[in-house]
Amino acid sequence: QVQLVESGGGLVQTGESLRLSCAASGSISRLNVMGWYRQAPGKQRELVATMSSDGNANYAESVKGRFTISRDNAKNTVYLQMNSLKPEDTAVYYCNVAQMGIFPPQSSWGQGTQVTVSS
């Protein structure tokens, strides 16, 4: 089992920045994708940004140019730098690691961290 510990959420004003961190512990297969998802009230959980172990990143259109995902493979840690935050970014943000190199494939989730952007 993988344990994900998130930090960095909080309450900010429009235009400000936050940096989320997620540290994964436990055995993680080499082929994996780490990333962030979010769920706003009344909405489906959506992908925010992911990065595979080889460095390929994927972003939701709504955050391109504002958010940057990065990871430290040695530390099994993924970060999300969120700039120019907008009220529509308000959501619970969940860290995720999807392991493709094990059977059965495993997807692990953090507990979620609240990001609130005031208007």
Q: Which residue has the higher pLDDT, 104 or 33?
A: 33
- The tokens describing 96, both together, are 């995720």
- Residue 119: exposure state from Cβ atoms within 10 A (0-12, 13-18, ≥19): exposed
Strands 10-13 and 113-118: parallel
Least confidently predicted of 60-64, 70-74, 113-117: 70-74
What is the amino acid identity at position 92? V
Query: What are the b/e assignments for 63-80, b being 16+ CB within 10 Å?
Result: beeebbbebeeeebbbbb
Tell me the mean pLDDT in the region 75-88.
Answer: 96
Q: Which residues contact 11 (CB under 8 A, 6 or more apart)?
A: 116, 117, 118
What are the pLDDT digits (tens) for 92-111? 999 999 998 788 889 999 99
